[in-house]
Amino acid sequence: MSERTPHIPPTRSASRSLTSAYFDQLYAASGDPWEFATSRYEAEKYAATLAALPRPRYASALELGCSIGVLTRQLAVHCDRLLAIDISDAALIQARERCADLPHVGFERRDMAAEFPDGRFDLVLVSEVGYYLASGDLERLRDRIAHALAPHGHLLLVHYTGETNYPLSGDAVHECFRAHTTRWRLVQSKADTQYRLDLFEVP
């Protein structure tokens, strides 16, 4: 098992996205299945993620797949408003508790590919969640993000690049977004030994 694959692996299928049932099973077995709150890998990646933000503050941000809210709480320092979504009710219970003292942070249960939120955002963060989607769903999500980003807004992708049992690899996720050159341009890229970070900006 890789550091990004919990002990309940999905049955890999590139044509099907992972469903809420998979995540419900994970959180029933462990409150923090990816060790977001304790992993050195996660802590270092979170630091690199926040350091990559070009602006000190964003008016309206969207975090896709917030899980238990560890990164959400750190990202909130840089936002006037932050909407964090996740497919798991169990994860969102923890996330709301972790960020209970942050009134500018909102949480919603949504399937990010099928139930993308309305609104305009000047920052969208896709961290360690794109590879849970099948290719078609990822392309639909990419198109929704493209329409939701405000002019001069930023899209930040961060994904583990090692082997997993997920529908897509981290590299495949990033290449999907890199191919959408009519909407944004790549302004920063980092290839760590374990993860990849790409920052895009809307002209």
Q: Is residue 195 classed as helix, strand or coil in its secondary structure?
A: strand
Q: Measuring CA to CA, which residue among 181, 186, 161, 182 is closest to residue 172?
A: 161
Say what the pLDDT of residue 27 is.
94
Chain mean pLDDT for the chain: 93
pTM, rounded to two decimals: 0.93
Rounded percentage of the chain residues whose pLDDT exceeds 90: 88
Give the mean pLDDT of 165-193. Answer: 94
60 contacts: CB under 8 Å, gap ≥ 6: 79, 80, 81, 82, 83, 119, 120, 121, 122, 123, 150
Q: What superfamily would CATH give domain 32-201?
A: Vaccinia Virus protein VP39 (3.40.50.150)
* Cα–Cα distance measured from residue 148 to residue 118, given in angstroms and rounded to the nearest whole number: 8
Q: How do the domains of the chain map onto residue ranges?
A: 32-201
Q: Measuring CA to CA, which residue among 117, 187, 133 is closest to residue 156?
A: 187
pLDDT digits (tens, 9 = 90+) for 85-124: 999 999 999 999 999 999 999 999 999 989 999 999 999 9
